[in-house]
Structures are given as structure tokens and as C-alpha cells.
Amino acid sequence: MSDAIKGNILTPNGWVHGTLSFDQHIQDIQGAHVDPVANHDDYILPGFIDLHVHGGAGKDVMEGGDAVHAIAAIHARHGTTSLLATTMTAPPEDIDIALQAIGKAVKQRGKNEARVLGVHLEGPYINSGKLGAQPNFARAATLEEVQRLESLAPLRVITVAPEIAGHLELVRELADTGVRVQIGHTLGSYDDGVAALEHGAVGFTHLFNAMSGLHHREPGMVGAALAHAEYAELIPDLLHVHPGAIKTALRAIPRLYCVTDSTAATGMPDGEYMLGRHTVQKCMGGVRLPDGTLAGSTLTLDQALRNLVGLGLDLADASARVSTHAADYLGLQDRGRLARGAYADLVVLDRDLKLKAVIIEGERCDLNDA
């Protein structure tokens, strides 16, 4: 049975004022091209895609069990229609537990839940000298271990520190299998970053955070990203990255896309929560370790969209950075865009960019708990 929705529809060819009809997929879009400021109707955008999600609703991905379902549900109520469940650096047995649960969630999306597309393996293949909020279980990667983990759940993105011995060769091997390898939690130099890109790395994990910074005589990993990257993820909660640095990255990296790096504290009151094996404190909109280190965020992608527009991006550009660019990064042509044949993943926002409806693979999500 088909359904339909009317408003200002953001298509790959621009804004259309009209009707979008859908079942599980978009069947048709009818209407006339329009400047959306010329009327007062709602905005209809592609559903948001978050490639870096640790938790939400008091649950952490590393718990295993049903935690990932609660996480997918809280983010769906904020417009995220698909996501990557993201691990922490941890002992092998903890990662196995998390991936076994994620693997099951990939196969079966629950009602009112975002689609779990797979795993972003953020640890343990990082530099122990640039942990950020990661527990200190960092170690070098081997292809054999990665292949074993892949048997538990689809690994869509893997973060590595390329300066670790053996990692450049692994980057090439993983890239050849289609895994998106990105650089993060690294003390590597500009040259290390360039070498990793030449070996097949394609992105940067939470740009600016937990990597060597930009200096005019030592451009660092940030310099490698700004000079050479096509894609990078960034946390636009306005705590992790100064607005001026966000604007710099927007000018330099064509397909910069936004992630939440959200934790169990997302959607919850102030207090203590778990992030992997760390206890973190939510207070005044941020999440921190006891020493004050930022430890993920409480951001949701609907707020990320509003933050981007507040920084001066037009709505179409901001939409691409919370949806289309992430889909393209994963090579998904059937998500992140409102076009005939794509999944009916979409959000409806009022003129103040507040969510009115979320539709995931053609099913309307209950927003009562948002």
C-alpha cells in the first residue's frame, strides 16, 4: 500500500514543491521546481545518516544484547534513518560481544528504529598516545583479526592510526576489500596522512579531534586532511570544534559530513553513564571524563542540521552534510537522496527546522518520546 506526503521536497535536482509517493521505496515525485522560501510549507529532506554512534537512551554499543536497538530507536526519533554502530577500544572479548549484537541488529530492524547498516570499528587500532576518550586497549591490527571480526558483523568503516608499524600495508589490504578506512586517534604527521591516503584510506575520524594539529611548519594530520581529503567526518556540536574551524573545513573538504559521536548520555538527564569501560559525566550539554576530556557527545543529527544552518549554510548544503555525503562515502546510491527507487527514508521539518515526521524505509516513526 502506497503513501504520500506534500511539501518542499529536496531532490538531487533541487527543490520541488509537490507530492512524494512511496511504499518501502520512493515511487514518484511530482511537482514544480521552486524556491522553498517562496511559500510556508514544510521541508522534506533525505533521512539523516550517522556513521559514528556509540550510544543513546542510556545504552552503550559495547554492552551488547539489545542495547543497539534502544540506540537505534532514540536516534530515529531525531531524524536518523540509518547509522553505523560504533565500537570503543577494548579487549577482544568486549569487541566480540558488541559485534555479535550488532550483527543481529543489521539483519532485523525493529519498529521505530533506524536501520543499522553495520559497524564503525573506531578501536582498537589506534595510537595509545592519542586515545582521546578511548580506554587504553590500543593495539596493532592484523588482517586475520579484522577478517574474524567481519564474520561477526559487517565492518563498513575502520579507524586506524597509520603511523603504527604494519598499518599502511593493512590499509591497502582493507581498502581492496571495500572497507572504508579512515585516519583517527593518531599522532601521525602530515606525511603519514598523505601516505595513508595513497594506500587507500579515504576519510578522517572526527576531524580536528584526537589527531596532530595544524601548524604552518608542521601541518600535521589536520593539514593532510585539509589539503587532500575528499571526505572527512566532523562533530558539529560547537563544543568539539570551534565554528571558525568548521568553516575552514567546509571550504577545504568538498564532502565533509557530520556525525554525532553520541554516547549513552544522548537523550538523557545529567549524570553518569558508561562509554565502553569508561564512566563519563554528562553536564551542561557535554560529556567528559573525570579529567575534563571530551568523551563523545549528546548531539543528534537534527540539532547538527540546525547548527550548520546557524553557521550560514543553506538548507540544501546542510542536508547533504547530514545525509547524502555519508551515503556516498559508503557507496550507497539508494539512501541519502529523495529520488525514485531510493529507500523511502525521509524527514519532515517545519519552517523552524523542528522535526514533524520521520519515515524509515516507508514506515512512519513514532516521535512521541522525542
Residues at the annotated binding site for Zn(2+)? 122, 185, 206
Residue ranges of the binding site? 122, 133, 185, 206, 209-210, 217, 240, 294-296
Residue ranges of the binding site for substrate? 133, 209-210, 217, 240, 294-296
Q: Which residues contact 283 (CB under 8 A, 6 or more apart)?
A: 270
The Cβ of residue 250 has, within 10 Å, a number of other Cβ atoms equal to: 18
- In this structure, what are the phi and psi dihedrals at residue 176, rounded to the nearest 5 degrees? -65, -20
Strands 14-22 and 26-33: antiparallel
Identify which of 225, 262, 257 has the alpha carbon closest to the alpha carbon of residue 324: 257
> Among this protein's residues, is 41 annotated catalytic?
no
Query: Is the preceding omega at residue 269 within 30 degrees of 0, hence cis?
Result: no
Burial 287-319 (b: 16+ CB within 10 A, else e): bbeeeeebbbbbbbbbbbbbbbeeeebebeebb
**Pairwise CA distance, residues 185 & 207, whole Å:** 10
HSE at residue 215, side-chain half, CA atoms within 13 A, is 7
Query: Could you give the C-alpha distances from 65 to 35, 106, 261, 316, in angstroms and in order?
Result: 47, 13, 20, 38
Burial class (CB in 10 A: 0-12, 13-18, 19+), 353: middle
Query: Could you give the C-alpha distances from 70 to 101, 121, 282, in angstroms and in order?
Result: 12, 19, 19
C-alpha cell at 214: 595544524
Q: Which of 60, 261, 302, 328 is the catalytic position?
A: 261
The Cβ of residue 147 has, within 10 Å, a number of other Cβ atoms equal to: 13
**Which residues does the annotation mark as catalytic?**
261
